[in-house]
Amino acid sequence: MDDIAVRNDAKAGQDWPLQIYQTLKANGVSQISYVPDAGHSRLIELSHGDAAIQTTVLTTEEEGVALSAGAWLGGDRAVLLMQSSGVGNCVNMFSLAASCRLPFLTLVTMRGEWAEFNPWQIPMGKATRQAFEIMGVTVFRLDRPEDAEEVISAACSLAFESDQQIAVLISQRMLGRKKWTETK
């Protein structure tokens, strides 16, 4: 029986993850936590390659909210990377940042929208923005690679200079069409 793999058709040459990485560095981010996600793989790779950035692999996304709070209290700036399917896991933890008026920044790769092949991703993909907004998190949307630096810079400013809770939703279209393919 053939193994099933996911193929990503993202356009080569658009290194918006590098732009995001450079912008996070320029804004003093020194900690990145994540649940492994193919959409964030380039950004994760860049972060692991940088001795000045502490990376933490999470078992579940809500741990990243607490880690971000602890980082801030310890004098660091942290970012949580997750997929839209993990947002529902964090709803209760978002109240920590809001109640304590702590800065919080998360970058969310979207699923359940552009040419989604997996029907299990669609419900949370539809609810992601509203889940954040209900919990008082300001939502930005990144739909075009050429806007990566500007959107991430604005998000960092609001989060870290104004003690706001910010989510940047990265369009599934930017990640490219995913589909099941057979491998031998």
User: What is the spatial distance between Cα 41 and Cα 107, in angstroms, rounded to a whole number?
Assistant: 13
What pTM value is reported for the model? Answer: 0.89
CA dist., res. 108 & res. 184, Å (int)? 32
pLDDT number for residue 123 = 75
Residue range 117-147, pLDDT digits in tens: 777 887 788 989 999 999 999 999 999 999 9
pLDDT, tens digit (0-9, with 9 covering 90-100), for 73-85: 999 999 999 999 9
Judged against a pLDDT cut of 50, whether residue 5 lies above it is answered with no
More confident residue, 12 or 73: 73
Domains of the chain: total: 1
Enclosing domain of residue 164? 3-183
CA distances from 111 to 32, 119, 147 (A): 21, 10, 20
* Spatial CA neighbour of 7 closest among 117, 113, 82, 169: 117
Q: Which CATH number covers residue 95? A: 3.40.50.970
